[in-house]
Amino acid sequence: MDKAGLHVLYMPSIQSFRDKKVRILNGSHTAMVPVGLQLGCETVMDAFNHPLIEKFIDKLVTDEVLPMIHEDRGELEIFSAGILERFYNPYIRHLLSAISLNSLSKWEARNFPTVLDNFEEAGKTAQYNLFALAALLVLYSGKSETPFTPDDNPKHVEFIRQHWDGTNIERSVREIVENKDIWTVPLTAVTPLVLTVSGFVKEILNDGMEKALANLVQ
């Protein structure tokens, strides 16, 4: 196929391909949804045409996801570019509201592994992935600038809303991320998670999503 002028990447296994796709494509989708919805975006294309969101996803993938995939960096960047290119496809109308289905479990499966790897392997706080979690909690709390009805486990949504205390965000975030009915893994294994997410939640609530995101990606 190389002779035909096609650039072919040979993956060591189907599992390797799937793992990269989950972290790069699916993780980007999951991170984009709560941010995009709170910025008034309706589709993936709308979100990726927003300069702040485009920069957010680029930094999330480049700074946090790719360094934790231990393969050739050049080939990973080619793979990532090919995967993310579909965000720009004008013929595919992906509604953010549809992608938001079961976002809590999706964030755990797609984004938390990257957060954990950054913390354990590099001693880093994966701030872009944690900003996505903060945006998700704000969206589910019912306190976001954009009215939204989560399409998720009703008990989990109810727990978040019942334990949401605007006067003590850190306590609220801790109670939510320590709930073993919502999460199947201990999110607090990443020790900076609660403080980092709480800080982002406060920024989003106090300053609005656009300003909070601009501060993050500048």
> For the segment 75-127, what is each residue's pLDDT rounded down to a tens digit?
888 888 887 777 767 667 889 999 999 999 999 999 999 999 999 999 999 99
CATH classification code of 2-217 = 1.10.1040.10
Q: What is the largest CA-CA distance in the chain?
A: 64
Euclidean distance between CA atoms 36 and 47, whole angstroms:
5
Contact 185, 135 (CB under 8 A): no
The pLDDT tens digits of the residues spanning 143-176 come to 999 999 999 999 999 999 999 999 999 999 999 9
Domain residue spans of the chain: 2-217
Q: Would you state the structure tokens that stand for residue 152, as one six-digit string?
A: 């998720």
Mean pLDDT of the chain: 91
Length of the chain: 218
At 8-52, the pLDDT tens digits run 444 455 457 788 889 999 999 999 999 999 999 999 999 999 999
Determine the Cα–Cα distance for residues 61 and 57; give it in Å rounded to an integer: 6
pLDDT above 70 coverage of the chain, percent: 91
pTM of the model: 0.90
